Structure 1
C-alpha cells in the first residue's frame, strides 16, 4: 500500500486559517501521517477533541515536541488519555499528546519521581514556565496505547491558552490530499409535533436519494404538514487515511437562507457531551446509526452551531411547495449537495408514532421525583434534553427506570432504603446497574439506612453485595527463581463485582511503582536495581476492590546485582 504523507502546509481554502500561525509547528511524528480519527468525529458520549494519528499498528514510535515551549501539565490515568503530556508554547497555544507508552528523559524522570512521592501510578501535576523547558524536535515520549485507547495511536490536540478551546489542527496547517466529497448514506425527515405528518407517517421517514448528472443528489418527494426537521448519516474520507471520519460543516438552507448549520472549527471541552442531543440518540442505541439532526426541538447551548433560525424546524402549511437544500462540506470545500422537494399534504397518517404513554411524564425543564417501595429517583431540572414518558417500576428488589434510549445531560440521584441488612453487611453493599445477569458498580454513599448514587444512565438498578476479594496471579511463577536478566514482572489482577479500586506493590517492604493497564488487567513493574538486594528479594502486591475487600499476593525471587 502506498502512503501519502500528511504535510505541514497552509491552505488557501479557509479564511479562518489566517488567524493561526504559519510554518510554526512540526509534525509530532516522523512517519507519514495517517488519521484514524479527526476533529469533531462522533464518538460514544462525546465529540472527538483532536486528531488520532496511526502509528503503524505498534507502540514505541518517537513523539516530538512540535515547537519550543515548556511542559505545563502531565497526567497519568488508567482511563481517558492514559499517559498525556501538555506543552505550552510562547505563541499562545498548547499542544497535547495522549495515550503515550512512556515519556523520555527528564520528563519521564519527573513522572516517576511524582509517582513515588505520591505512591500512586495515577498522577496529575502542573508546572510553571522554566521548570520543564522543551525545544522543537525534542523527543518527549514514545507512542502507546494507554488509557481509553482501543489500539496503538497518538492522540494530538491544539488548545488556546486563554480560552482553553480546542482548535481543529487543520487550521495549523496539518493537511492531507483530500479530493473526495463527504458521503451522505442516509437522509431522514422527522415529524416534530403532535399534528405533524410526513409521507403519511408520524414516525421518522428514510428518504431515497438519486444521484443527478451534475453530481448533486435529489431526495424523494416529501409530502408533509406541520413542523418537520431533517437528519443525515454522513462521514468524510480523504485520499490517504481510508477512515470514515467526521463531518466538518453542514448547512440546511431554505429559500436561500441558512436556517441551521454547524461547523467544527473549535470546541469547548465541557460541551462534548452535547453529542447525545445532536444525534438521534434513540436510533443510535437501537440501530447503532448516528443520525446528525439538523434541528433542535429544545435548544441547547452548543457553540458549534453557528446558524439557527427557528431551530432548523420547518413549518409546512397549506400551499407550501419548495426545495430545501442540505450542503455537507469538508475543510477543503469538497461538498455534497442534496435537494429535497417539500410539498404540503393534508393526508392523514397511516403509521402512528411509537411513543408509549405512561403515567410518569418527565418534563425536561422541571425537576421530578418518583418513589415506589424503598426506591426513589430524583431528576433535577435540565437533566434531560426533551420531555418523555418514563417507564418506572420496582419488581423483585430491582428498579426499572426506563431504558438507555433516552440520554441524560447531567447526573440524577437514585436512593434505596435498606432496614434489613446488618451494619457489617451494608459496608459491602452498593447500588449496581443490572444488565441481564451482569452487575455494574456505581459509587455509592450510605447515610443511616439509605444508599444513594448519582448516574447519567437510565436502566435497571438494584442493591448488590460484594464479599469476594480481588484475584491476583502470575502467568509464570517466580517463586525461588533467579530472574537476574528479567527487566520487568507482570501480575494479573481482577475483581468480578465491584471492581479494582487500589493496587500497591512492595519489594522488600518498600513501595514500588506498578503500572496498571486496565484493558489487560495487568500490573507491570520495571526493575530498579537500587531497590533490589543481592540474592533473595520479597515481592508483595495488595489489591483492594471498591467496597474494601483486599487480597495480598506474596512471593520470593532471587536476583544478582553483580554485573
Structure 2
C-alpha cells in the first residue's frame, strides 16, 4: 500500500510537470454547461486515435458553442462524414482550437459558407477565409452544437492543435478541470510468443492471462507464468471519469521489467499522418475477430508512431534460461489516478518446437509482387507493419461474383498503405466492363466491400485494377443497379410550398457507393445537405426561388455512373 501511495504521488508530480509545458487557464470552456466527457484524447478508435475530447451536450443539439480564446476563424469545413460541420480558430499564442459535429455556424459565417457552397455547387466544402474575415473574442458564440458528420449522438468534439504543425495535443493538459476520481480499469492482459522458439506455458499463440483484483486500482496475475524466448504483452484497459459511464482511454501506460522501464505509451500529442499506426498499436487480429481494441506494449518494425518513449528492445521481453522476471504496468489518467498491474514469469524450456508453416511470406521492408496470371498484386515498402506469413489460394467464384476468388492472407492482418491488385475481366461480359468493381470479402467469403477500380491492359488483356487497403479475399462484382432514392417527407406532386419548407429524401446504393448528389430547381443548382450516417438528404427551400410553378429534381450517381433522377412539380410562395 505504501508503494502504491508513493507511485501515485510521483505520478501526480510528473503529470503536473507535463501540464506546465502548456498554457494553463488560457482557454475557457467552449460550452456553458459543466464539462462531462464521453470521449478522451488518444482513445483507440477505428483506424485512428481520437484527436480531442468529446463533451456531452445533455443529449440535445443547439447549445451555444463559444470561442475558447480570442483569435480568428482560419478554416471552415462542411462534410457528410468525419467532423461534419467544423470551425478552426487560430489564437495568437500559437495554438488552434477546433469545434466539430456542429449543427450550424454563427449567422455571418453561415451566410458566407452558403455563398461558397453555391459558388462551388457543392454541399461539401473546405474553406479558408482571408485573414481578418472572421475575428472572434473569447466567449463569442461562434456556432451551435450538433450531431453532424460521423457523430454517434449529440456532442461537441473539441481539439487544441499546435498551429505550426497542426498536431493535436491533449486538451486536458491545458488546465481544464474535469472531475475524475476513478482509477483506470484493467479488463485483461494478453501474452504473445513472437517466434517459433518462444512460448508461454508451452503455447505459441496469443494467450489471455488470468487476473485477480487486489484492491481498487491494483491487479495481479493469478499465478506465475512460465515461458521462454521473446514475448510481448498487450493490455486491455479503460478509464472512466466522474459523471459518465463511457469507456475512455488512459493517458499513459508504462511497462517495467525487474524495476526498469522498457516502454511507455503516452497520449500527449501525435501527427495526423501517424494516426493510422493505431492498427499497429492494437492487436488488429483481435479487433478484426472480436471488436476488441487493446494496447500493444511492444513496437512492430514498421510502426513509426511517436507516442512511445523509454523503449528498450522495442518493449519485447526476452525470457532467458534460468531467469525470472517481475513485470509491472503502471496506468495513469491525466488527473493522476493510477492503476498497477503486477505479474511474474519464470523460464521454462520449450518442450515441443514444432510450428506450422504458411504458403507465403510477405516482407514489410521491401517491394513484393504476386502474379498468378488472372490476378496480380503489387505491395510497396511498409504496406505491412511486420512481415506476414500468409495462406494463399484461388477458389471458384460464388453466385454473386464474376470469376475466381483470390486469397492473400486474412482480414486480421493490418495494412498501413494502399497497394494495387488487378483482376482479369475475362469472365465479365464486355458490356459490363465499365460496371465491374473489385471487392474484398471477409474470411467467410461474405460482406463484399467495394474498392471500385479502373480498366487497365495487363499482358495484352483487359484487367480491372484497384487500390486496396486490406488483406483477404478479392473478386469481381458488377454494379449496374442505380442508387435508390425515396422521398420521405416535405413534397408531393403539385404541393404548395413556401420559404423554409424542408424536403427529406433517403438514398442508398447497393455496391460501388454514392459518387455525387445534386438538387435542381428549374434546372438551377440548389443547396442540399447530406447526412451519410442516416443516408439522408435535406433541402430547405429559400427565397432564391421566385413565386410560381416549379420543378424539383434530384440526381444521384454512384461510382459506376448509374444514375437515379427524381422529378416533382410544386408550387412556391415566398413568405
- Please classify the TM superposition score into its range, dividing by the shorter chain length: over 0.9
Unpaired stretches in structure 2, ≥5 consecutive residues:
1-11, 398-402
2:4 aligns with none
Which residue pairs with 1:542 in the alignment? 555
Tell me how far apart the structure 2 counterparts of residues 313 and 67 of structure 1 sit (CA, whole Å). Answer: 44
Does 2:224 match 1:221?
yes
Q: Secondary structure at the match of 1:201?
A: coil
Distance (whole Å) between structure 1 residues aligned to residue 441 and residue 550 of structure 2: 44
CA shift at 1:381, angstroms?
1.9
CA distances 1:522-541 after superposition (whole Å, capped 9, x unpaired): 21111111x22223222111
* 1:512 and 2:535 matched: no
Q: In the TM superposition, what are the counterparts of 1:454-493 in structure 2 within 5 Å? A: 454-476=467-489, 477-484=491-498, 487-493=501-507
Q: Deviations over 1:456-493 (max 9, x none)?
A: 11222222222222222213442112123753111222
Tell me how far 1:323 sits from its aligned partner: 1.4
Q: Please tell me whether the aligned partners of residues 39 and 53 of structure 2 are also in contact (alpha carbons under 8 angstroms).
A: yes
Gaps of 5+ in 1: 1-10
TM-score under structure 1 normalisation? 0.93
User: 1:412-491, aligned counterparts within 5 Å?
Assistant: 412-419=419-426, 421=428, 424-434=431-441, 436=445, 438-448=447-457, 449-476=462-489, 477-484=491-498, 487-491=501-505
Trace 1:107-122 onto structure 2 (pairs within 5 A): 107-122=109-124
Give the length in aligned residue pairs.
548
Q: TM-score, length-normalised on structure 2?
A: 0.91
Aligned-partner Cα distance in 1 for 2:525–2:350:
75
Shift of 1:38: 0.5
Select 1:171's aligned residue among 170, 173, 182: 173
Task: Tell me, in whole angstroms, the C-alpha distance in 1 between the residues paired with 2:285 and 2:252.
Answer: 23
Please state how far the C-alpha of 1:345 moved relative to its aligned partner.
1.6
CA distance in 1, matches of 2:358, 2:324: 38
Q: How does 1:290-309 map to 2 (within 5 A)?
A: 290-298=293-301, 300-309=303-312
Q: Does the CA contact (< 8 Å) of 2:498 and 2:541 recur in 1?
A: no
CA deviation vs aligned residue, 1:333-352 (integer Å, no higher than 9, x gap): 211112212211225259x7
Q: Hey, what's the Cα distance between the residues in 2 that align with 1:439 and 1:225?
A: 42
1:10-21 to 2 correspondences below 5 Å: 13-21=15-23
RMSD: 2.1
Measured against aligned partners, the alpha-carbon deviations of 1:159-179 in whole angstroms (never above 9, x if no partner) come to 001122111001111221212
**1:304-324, CA deviations, whole angstroms, 9 ceiling, x for partnerless residues?**
001111111121112212312
Change (3 A) 1:421 1:38: same
1:388-427 equivalences under 5 Å are: 388-395=388-395, 396=397, 397=403, 398-419=405-426, 421=428, 424-427=431-434
Between the aligned partners of 1:297 and 1:421, the Cα distance in structure 2 is: 41
2:289 is the counterpart of 1:286: yes
Deviations 1:109-132 (A, max 9, x none): 111011000000011111343122
Q: Give SS of 2:534's match.
A: coil
Please state if 1:523 is matched with 2:525.
Answer: no
Alignment of 1:189-228 (within 5 A): 189-212=191-214, 216-219=218-221, 220-228=223-231
Structure 2 Cα separation of the partners of residues 438 and 189 of structure 1? 31
Cα deviation, 1:241-275, whole Å, max 9, x if unaligned, reads 22110011111112322111111111111111111
Deviations 1:493-531 (A, max 9, x none): 2222222111111112211100011222221111111x2
SS of residue in 2 equivalent to 1:71: strand
Contact 2:185 2:217 in 1 (8 A): no
Q: How far has the Cα of 1:393 moved from its partner?
A: 2.3
Offset, 1:420: 6.0
Equivalent in the alignment of 1:367: 367
8 Å Cα contact 1:372/1:394 also seen in 2: no
* 2:198–2:350 Cα contact (<8 Å) kept: no
